[in-house]
Amino acid sequence: MRNRWYHRPVFHDPHKFGEKKATWLELFYDLIFVAAFIHLGNGFSDHVGWEGALRFVMVFVPMWVVWTGYTFFINRFTIDDFIHRIIVFVQMFSIGAMAVGAPEVLEKRHTVFVTSFAVAQGVIAFLYIRSWLQVKDGRAYSGYWGAVFAAGAMVWVASLLLPEPAATILRGVALLGVISAPLSRQSRAIADRFPGDQEHLSERYGLLTIIVLGESFVKVLSSLYGKGASLPVLGQAGVLLVLTCCLWWIYFDDVAGSRIRGRRFTPIIWLYAHLPLQMALTATGVAIKKAVAFDMMVPAPEAYRWLFSGSLGLALLSVAVIDSVTERRQAELSDTYRVAMRFFSAALLLLLAPGGGGMPAYMFVILVTSVLIAQVVFDMMMAPFESTEIHHLPDIQEEPDETVPLMTETVRRIGISETVRKGTPSALRRDLYFYFMEGGWIRFLASLMFVFLMTNVLFAGLFMLQPGCIDGSNPQTFADAFFFSVQTISTIGFGVLSPATLYANIVVTVEAAAGLLGVAVATGLTFAKVSQPRAAILFSRNLLVMTYEDRPTLLFRAGNARGNDIADATVSVTAVIQETSAEGYELRRMYDLPLVRERSPLFALTWTVMHPLDETSPLRALADGEIPDKLDVLIVTIHGHDATYGQTVYARHLYGSHDILHGRRFVDIDEELEDGRLMLDFSRFHHTEPV
């Protein structure tokens, strides 16, 4: 047993010790950052502007470096004795002092913050030096990072002796040295030699993201204090909190569960992208707090618009960078599309900042929220299934016909197209063309409409960058810019609105080219979807086993519901049977069943497909009234030349063992009318009766 007062650190090898979980001390350590980020956000809230944003970054980055430094230490070393806990508490106090000194930095007073950050770096250096002295394994790792943080701490202490702005420049260089340390050749060689526990790092950064997102809720609830619980105020706050929920969804349903690609620099990119992401999420909390106080009927203040859409845009840009180096574990579309979606949405949000000056604040908030909601909808379209076990609910049983025996159990028919594919390489997943061709018209038209509207919002934001660039719009509003964009992209041009400057003409040229390309793509997709040949072949619900021409026969019925000419139709039936090889391997073996008639020169009515259950049939047991236990499925395919489409069409149907009935036959559905024409009653197509 280990001594609780003192024991040596253990160098953590994920291949040897398995995945590491966050400890209670780590969670307690994270709580101090709740107060630190809230305190920093409150200080930034009083200094919204470009200078305030710069100082906010100057404070946030050191805090993030301290948190990351300790997280990487605890990721590589396992230690929990009395000395370690006291040292961690000391660092927590230093983080608290940094939080207290953060507003002073915004007021250009640095002493408390600089001293606290130097102590925090010194604590991390002490942890590494202790491990270097006591643990032989990983000495190269602990020695390198101990030296990095020790040097950073000494430089920050020395900067207190210099006047401004030399002290700030020196601190910036030292901080940049710590941040860029993972890029050095020595650091990368050490990381390759001693790989970290990526699952533990993903968990730790996810916990920090939860803390930052929780700050948004705290700020909204605190801003509502004293305002009362009126319906307009609660509705406004609720819409803004939807943004936080969307950000949670994007990260924890997309980023947190992704696997880092095994390429050079991808782990470092993944790490660095979290810095602007968590910085943007912290700023988003401040922006949401400001947005709660918006007068929704007038344009929002410019500084708050930039803070609001700029922080969200930076968050999506950071997510796009992370997406570019990670791979979703469960997705239907290629990862390239989610990266493109994030970049497009980030650009759209950034352009809404100047565009918001020409619209009421409620419209600005609705547009920003719509962009974030679109990320969630896209995520659901991209990954409609979870990576865990899938459960299917049974279909509701139809009202039975008196000629059809009542089945004792309702069984869900699951087609091959419903198979959930997990772990497919990104390059081999579905592309957008396949996705739209396979899906329904609602998916296709809704996607086109969303792209059309968001593209026009994007170009409207570009026009709003230069006030007065649209002739005929006085004063220029976002609505005028949007409708001018619609006229441009669709080449309507009513003549009332026109470009007035060189900048506007350049944007019009780009938009016209994008519009022509978009119309061509949309037209091609629409034509391909409309003209896609589809067979209207109906298959009987059941397979029947009956005697036909003095021999047992397995049969089913197919019908051409459309009634057009399908020439040279061919049918095939394949039985999939589970078998065990001589070596003990379980496999599904396919047997092509010989049919009485496999080809029809003209398939316009119905077709009864028969398979003799003779001695050579793999389904011979059906003749004795038994159903083979190993029968998995029967696959039926019919293909032929459709005279209407002028193309080959095909249809497929699956039968299971539960679909087989004995001693029944199909009822007749054809009847001759008084004028000599033949009538097929497809309402009785599935009906059977006793032989």
Q: What is the pLDDT of residues 393-431, one digit of tens each?
A: 333 333 444 444 433 333 444 444 455 555 565 565 666
Q: Residue 522: CB partners within 8 Å, gap ≥ 6?
A: 448
pLDDT value at 146 more than 80:
yes
d(CA 181, CA 141): 12
Among residues 212, 279, 288, 217, the alpha carbon closest in space to that of 31 is found at: 212
Name which of 22-26, 327-331, 449-453, 520-524 the model is least confident about.
327-331
Helix H or strand E segment including 507? helix 502-530
Residue with tokens 């809404």: 352
Q: What phi, psi does 333 have (nearest 5°)?
A: -105, 160
Q: Give pLDDT tens digits for 375-402.
A: 888 887 776 655 544 344 333 333 444 4
Enumerate domains of the chain plus CATH numbers: 1-196 (no CATH), 198-385 (no CATH), 430-530 (1.10.287.70), 537-690 (2.60.40.1400)
> What is the rounded CA–CA span in Å between residue 65 and residue 627?
67
Q: What is the pTM of this model?
A: 0.72
| Residue 156 to residue 113: CA distance in whole angstroms | 10
Q: Are 157 and 170 in contact (CB under 8 A)?
A: no
Tokens of 27: 């969670």
* Over residues 60-72, mean pLDDT: 89
* Token pair for 385: 């299934």
Reported as type and span, the H/E element at residue 344 is helix 335-355
Would you say 481 and 473 are in contact if contact means Cβ atoms under 8 Å apart? yes
Q: Which residue(s) pair with 587 in the sheet?
A: 579
Closest by CA position to 284, among listed 309, 263, 320: 309
Residue 26 in tokens: 């780590």
Using a pLDDT cut of 90, give the percent of the chain over it: 11
pLDDT category of residue 8 using cuts at 50, 70 and 90: confident
- pLDDT, tens digit (0-9, with 9 covering 90-100), for 224-243: 665 555 666 677 777 778 88
The pLDDT value recorded for residue 211 is 81
Residue-wise pLDDT for 512-547, tens only, equals 999 889 888 888 888 888 877 777 888 999 999 988
571: β partners: 638
- Whether 485 and 463 have beta carbons less than 8 Å apart is answered as yes
Between 274-278, 324-328, 391-395, 652-656, the lowest mean confidence (pLDDT) is in 391-395
